[in-house]
Structure 1
C-alpha cells in the first residue's frame, strides 16, 4: 500500500512538472531519427477523422491537455478507484495478520478494526472477546517454535488448526478465515462479471439464468473442468435417463 501511495504521488508530480522534460525528450528523439516536430504554437489539424466544428486549438493544447493530462488523470483515477480509502484500510488491517518476521506487522488495534468492518460476523461481545484473545495470541505465537517460520496467512491458518489453537483462540481464527476468504470472493466475482460479458452477448441476450449459470461455472473454473476426462463426462450424460427420454 505504501508503493501505491508512492505511485500516486509520482503520477501527480508527473502531471504538475513532467510535461517540459517529456517534450524535450520527445523532441530529441525526433531529431535523432529525423522525424518532423510540429510547431507547438500552430493550429492543430486532426488526421484520419472528420474535423468537428468548434473552437480552434493549438498543438500545445492538444498534446498537453488532450493527451498528456488525459492519460495521467486516467491512471490516477484507476488507482483511486481500485485503492479507495475504504479498501486501503481493509488491506492494511488484513496485512497485520501476516506471520512473517515473527509477526512483525501485528497491530491489535487494526485487527479489531478489521472485525468492526464486518458486524454480521462479529458482535459487540465477540469484539470484546477478540480484544482479549489477541493480547494472548501474539505472545503465544511469538514464543512457539512451530509458528516462527511461517510466511503467509494461509500457512498460519493451517498451523493453527494443526496445533489446535483454533479452539483456544476461536475469534482470532474466525478473523484469519475472513481474511483468507476476502480475496477469493472478490476475484471470483470479478471473473464472473468478465465471463458474463463473453458468454451472454448480443446474439445470446435471451439466455435463461439457469443456462447462463451452467455456462459460467465451466468457463470460470477452467482448470477444474480441464482435469476431468471427456470419457467421464460422456458416461455422466449417458446415465441421465430423464434427459435421454426428453430428447
Structure 2
C-alpha cells in the first residue's frame, strides 16, 4: 500500500453518506448503545404487551363476574359482527369499552388476532376460574369447623341427573351461613351413587366426613331410607351426622297426603287445577280475566264497597297449585275466592265465544261444579285449614328458626286444629252460606237427605246433608290432618 495516498484511499473506502461503510458504522454504534439494542426493544415491547394483556384480562373478568352474579347467560343466538345483539358477554364488553378508554385500546380490533379472549372456550375458562376461587373461599371460611350437608337431586334440561350440594356452617363471626358448593352429575339417583359422589366431592375439596354434624334432604326413600338411604349410609360412618327433614317441606307433604286421603278433597283439587288451566290456557284468557277483575275492583271502589290501601286490591291472577311448592294451594284458593265473579264470567265467555266445542263443554261443566254447594263448602274449609298451615310454613322457612321453636309451633298448630274441629263448624257454615247467598248459589237444608256420591243408585245410601258435610267431610279431613301431624 502506498501511504502517500492513504487519506485519499480512506475517503474512497468510506464513500458518501449512504455508503455501505457508513451504514455498517451506524449499525455498530446502535449496537453499542443499549437504549436502542435489540434486547431492549424486545423487552420494552414485551412490557407493553403484558400491560395490554392484563388490562384485557381484567375487563373480561369484570364482565364474567357481573354475569355470574346476576345469573345471566353468556352466549347469544347470533354473535357475528353484523348482529344487532351478540349476546350478554360481547354486548356488555362493548358497552364497557365505550366508557373506558384504556379497555377500548386493547380489545376487539385493537387486540392481536390470536389473543382476543372472547371465544366460548375462554368464557368457560374464566367462569371455571371464578367458580374455583369462590369454592376455595368457602372452604377456607369453614376451616376446621363442623358443618351440615344439604343435598337434592334433579334432572336438568339435557336429561342428566344432577345433584346439588349446599353446606351450612357457622363462620368465624358466629353467623350461620349457607353456601352452595357444587352441582355434581350422577349416573343415577340411588343412595349408593349419591354417597360415592359426595365422597369424591369431599376428597376434592379436602373436607372430612367426620366433621359432618347434620344432614338435610327431602323425604324420598333414596334419601331418608332407614336401611339403605343416603342418610343411613352416612350415619354408618359418622353417627353424629344427625338427619333432619325440612319441616316446611314435611308440612307440605302432610297437606298433599290429606288432600289425597279424602276422596272429596282430592276431587275438589282436581277441579281447581282444571279451573286454573282453563282460565290460563292462553294469554288472551289471562288478559281477559285480569281486565274483568280490574273493572270489578274499580266499580267496587267507586261504590264504596271496598277501600284502598297499601298492598290491597292489587292486580293479580290465578296461581297454579303444585304439590312441591310451599303454600301454592293456599294462594290458589285465596285468589279463586277473591276473583270468583270474574272467573265465572270468563267461563261464561268461553261457553259463548269459543270456537272449540270441547272448550265449551269443559267450561260449562266447570261452571256447574263451581256453583255446587259442596264445591263452595270444601273451598272454604280447605282455605281455613291451609291458612293455619300457611303461617306455620312461612315461619318454618325463616333462617333464624331452630328445632325447639319449630316443634313448639307445630304443637300450637295442632291445638288450633283441635279447637277448630270442636268449635269451628258454625263458623264455616256461616261463611259458606253467606258466600252462596252473595253469588246466588242454592243453599242446602242440612236436614234434607242426600245421596252419597261414588255409588250406583242400585246400591244407594241415603244420609242427611248434615251428616255428609259434618262427618264425611269436615270431621274426616280434620281428623286426618291431626293424625298425620301426630304420626310425623
Larger helix proportion, structure 1 or 2?
1
TM-score w.r.t. the length of structure 2 is: 0.16
Structure ID, larger Rg: 2
TM-score w.r.t. the length of structure 1 is: 0.31
Larger strand proportion, structure 1 or 2?
2
